[in-house]
Amino acid sequence: MGGIAIWGSSSKGLLGTNSLEVHFNLWRARKKWWRGWKKWWGTISDFLDIGVMVFETNTAEWINIFIPATITKSNLTDLGNCFGKDIGLTAAVFNESWHPIADGNKTINVQDSTNAVLFCIYELDRDTDIKMEAKYGGTIIKIQIPQTLKGKKHYYRIRLDGKCTRSIQRASRPFDLILQSAFVQTDLVDFRLNDKRSLKNTSLLEQIITDGDCIFSKIHFFLMREAKDDYVYSDRQLNKSRRLEGESWKTYVGGSYCFDQIVAYDWKESKDVNDFTVFAKFKSFRSNWMTVIIFILGILIFGVVSGIFANLLYTAFGGTR
């Protein structure tokens, strides 16, 4: 599986060591079917949210995010404006008693309980603030840091659709799926950030080194799954897990998704590191109208083939009708 990379760059050349804090939310959510009725029949969707905190000392002009997939701007959504629409979302996402104050200039100031401004969230314009380069067998998302935010602590948050998550998670299904009306699916999640072994393109590694080293002061990787999915194993110690509740999360994810039983699994690193990986395994019970139809068709086909085979054997051994 390919890895994700994040680093800063400048037109002036080598940046030296720059520090970033990053947050990842990998969602697996069930879309509602027919206005929300019979939601257990809804289709499953995957998407990845990426949050990047840029500190005052960072001298980068661009924040670069490499995704090992060919994507366009249609695969990307800015989530910065969500914080201005829902006052409770800031506290939910950052798990702190913070509140947002929009200033009307594409920035939302995040304040603590004393009304001190901690940092600002920037609302990205896909047309003017973001560039995309098809490179190194994938795509580099380039976020330009506005002049007004240079030397200021600020935050970006974007969402990438399911096409961008295929390198992170894979599903393993039983070979006799057609003979079952329900089955147990094994999901493997292999998340890699700036992991040199998974960034196989040497030119990509060369560009990251040329642009300047990136140190991550804090990393949070949240995996959002339905409660019925069983957590089996992870190579990195799980920090915590909890059920997501509250209208803010429902608004943030979107009204077309069911949100009754979602559990967040959290892995984190709170010290300076150059890379980060998580490998996790889940098992889930799958049964929907499609598996039932496949099962019925499989039984019918099996019956027809068995009948034909029996007639051939009967005829071959001299049977009469």
pLDDT score recorded for residue 275: 94
| pLDDT over 80 at 120, yes or no | yes
Residue 228 to residues 180, 222, 309: CA-CA distances in angstroms? 19, 17, 42
More confident residue, 178 or 110: 110
Helix (H, G, I), strand (E, B) or coil at 159: strand
| pLDDT over 80 at 286, yes or no | no
pLDDT band, very low/low/confident/very high, at 6 (cuts 50, 70, 90): very high
pLDDT band, very low/low/confident/very high, at 37 (cuts 50, 70, 90): very low
List the Cα angle 59/9/1 in 5-degree steps: 130
Of 172-181, 191-200, 209-218, 303-312, the one with minimum mean pLDDT is 172-181
pLDDT band, very low/low/confident/very high, at 39 (cuts 50, 70, 90): very low
Query: Each residue of 229-252: b (16+ CB within 10 Å) or e?
Result: beeeebeeeeeeeeebeeebbbbb
pLDDT band, very low/low/confident/very high, at 276 (cuts 50, 70, 90): very high
Q: Across the chain, what does the average pLDDT equal?
A: 84
Q: Considering the entire predicted model, what is its pTM?
A: 0.84
More confident residue, 19 or 213: 19
The CA distance from 153 to 174, in Å, is 49
Strands laid side by side in the 183-193 sheet? 169-172, 183-193, 276-286, 230-234
> Do residues 248 and 89 lie in contact, with contact meaning Cβ atoms separated by under 8 Å?
yes
Tokens encoding 32: 């509602």
**Other Cβ atoms within 10 Å of 311 Cβ, number:** 12
pLDDT score recorded for residue 10: 86
pLDDT score recorded for residue 38: 44
| Mean pLDDT, range 24-41, rounded to an integer | 68
Type of residue at 204: L
Note the residue count of the chain.
321
pLDDT in tens, 93-110: 998 999 999 887 899 999
Task: Output the DSSP codes for 17-77.
Answer: -EEEEEEEEEEEEEBPSSTTTTGGGSPEEEEEEEEEEE-TT---SEEEEEESS---GGGEE
pLDDT band, very low/low/confident/very high, at 13 (cuts 50, 70, 90): low
The CA distance from 49 to 157, in Å, is 7
pLDDT score recorded for residue 310: 74
pLDDT in tens, 184-203: 788 899 999 999 888 888 99
| Mean pLDDT, range 68-79, rounded to an integer | 94
